[in-house]
């Protein structure tokens, strides 16, 4: 038995699905053919099409949500139901290719705790999605100090025990990949990225660019303060201090006085820095284990 076959036997494939009957008709048989020894779990997130029937016909483990709870909620349901030590998450919309799973597993065997399938720029759904993801990746790379190639990819393999540590932190919406990635980096777990081919999704996307884009950005700031709050607060406070200092010099040279605005900026920068320092201590205690 090869090492890859051995790891597949220890694998649970988790697929959140909402009205993905057409793509699942093709995806599930291919998965069962390529990875027959893996546990395949589909979470029907309040679908109104024939998603449940397709899953039953393909003889996979089905979890039904009575109404749509969100992509993240479906992922959490699948993770709690899984019985294997490794979890592989992939979308049910036809974007993620089953043959790429082998590539993720091969990299995972090199000693990583999580391997993420990173999309190439030409595989992004549209220009606005590309710009948004590029900004997210660069911001999170700066926060963590590690190269993050695809912060929002839902195609990843991870150790179940370590994933479940952060289950309570994961939001119910589409931004669960952001949260789990930042949490893994903060905990010192090994995260790797593997370039994968991604096809255009089948059917209509459930992501609203503006609404979910704002949510993604808020999640980044939220998790950033949990990851390294002092780095974020110190940057903001330092910028305000610099503005206050420059404004002080400007008013002193032109009007020979120190204005209230200059004092406000400098004092505010100190308060922001102290808030970051306290947040850093709280974050350290949170990750003490």
Domain-terminating residue out of 181, 198, 226 = 226
Distances (CA, A) of 287 to 108, 187, 189: 24, 7, 12
Task: Verify that 280 and 177 share a domain, yes or no.
Answer: no
What's residue 261's pLDDT? 87
What Cα–Cα distance (Å) separates residue 1 from each residue in 40, 51, 171? 21, 34, 39
Confidence (pLDDT) at 126: 53
| CATH number, domain containing residue 152 | 3.90.550.10
Q: Tokens standing for 171?
A: 């939001």
Residues 159 and 51 in one domain: yes
Q: Write down the pTM of the prediction.
A: 0.80
What is the domain range of residue 211?
3-226
Contacts of 62 (CB under 8 A, 6+ apart): 41, 42, 44, 52, 55, 56
From the list 174, 185, 262, 269, the residue with the least C-alpha distance to 212 is 174
In a shared domain, residues 217 and 238: no
Q: Please give the pLDDT value at position 96.
A: 92
* End-to-end Cα distance, the chain: 37
Report the alpha-carbon distance of residue 121 to residue 181 in Å, rounded.
Answer: 20
Q: 3-state DSSP call for residue 177?
A: helix
Instruction: Tell me: do 195 and 95 sit in the same domain.
Output: yes
Same domain? 278 vs 204: no
Residues 173 and 195 in one domain: yes
281 and 169 housed in the same domain: no
Q: Tell me what pLDDT residue 162 has.
A: 96
129 plus 70 within the same structural domain: yes
State the burial class of residue 214 (Cβ atoms within 10 Å of its Cβ: 0-12, 13-18, 19+). exposed
- Statement to judge: residues 141 and 266 lie in one domain: no
Give counts: helices (H), strands (E), the chain.
11, 7
Both tokens assigned to 192: 């790797």
What does pLDDT average to in each consecutive run of 10 residues of the chain (289 residues)? Answer: 72 96 94 95 95 94 95 96 97 92 95 93 58 80 86 93 92 84 89 89 55 69 74 90 91 84 91 90 72
Asked if residues 16 and 74 have their Cβ atoms less than 8 Å apart, the reply is: yes
Per DSSP, the residues of 4-38 read: HHHHHTTEEEEEEESS-HHHHHHHHHHHHHH-TTS
Buried/exposed code over 120-153 (b: 16+ C-beta within 10 A; e: otherwise): eeebbbeeebeebbeebbebbeebbeeebbbbbb
Amino acid 51: pLDDT = 95
Domain count along the chain: 2
Domain shared by 264 and 162, yes or no: no
Residues 89 and 149 in one domain: yes
pLDDT in the model for residue 30 = 95
76-166-14-120 Cα dihedral, nearest 10 degrees: 120
């Amino acid at each position: 038995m090869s090492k890859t076959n051995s790891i597949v036997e220890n694998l649970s494939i988790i697929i959140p699905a909402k009205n993905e009957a057409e793509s699942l008709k093709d995806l599930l048989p291919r998965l069962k053919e390529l990875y027959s020894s893996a546990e395949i779990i589909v979470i029907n997130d309040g679908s109104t099409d024939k998603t449940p029937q397709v899953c039953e016909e393909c003889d996979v483990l089905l979890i039904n949500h009575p109404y749509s709870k969100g992509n993240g909620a479906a992922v959490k349901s699948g993770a709690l139901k899984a019985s294997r030590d490794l979890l592989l998450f992939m979308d049910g919309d036809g974007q993620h290719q089953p043959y790429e799973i082998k590539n993720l597993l091969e990299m995972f065997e090199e000693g990583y705790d999580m391997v993420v399938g990173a999309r190439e720029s030409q595989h992004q759904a549209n220009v606005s999605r590309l710009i948004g993801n590029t900004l997210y990746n660069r911001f999170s790379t700066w926060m963590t100090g590690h190269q993050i190639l695809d912060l929002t990819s839902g195609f990843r393999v991870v150790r179940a025990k370590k994933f479940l540590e952060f289950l309570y932190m994961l939001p119910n919406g589409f931004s669960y990949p952001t949260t789990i990635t930042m949490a893994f980096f903060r905990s010192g777990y090994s995260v790797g990225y593997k370039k994968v081919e991604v096809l255009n999704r089948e059917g209509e996307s459930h992501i609203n660019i503006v609404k979910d884009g704002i949510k993604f950005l808020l999640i980044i700031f939220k998790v950033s303060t949990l990851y390294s709050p002092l780095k974020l607060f110190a940057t903001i406070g330092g910028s305000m201090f610099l503005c206050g200092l420059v404004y002080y010099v400007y008013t002193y040279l032109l009007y020979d006085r120190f204005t209230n605005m200059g004092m406000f900026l400098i004092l505010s920068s100190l308060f922001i820095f102290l808030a970051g320092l306290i947040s850093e201590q709280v974050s350290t205690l949170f990750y003490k284990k």
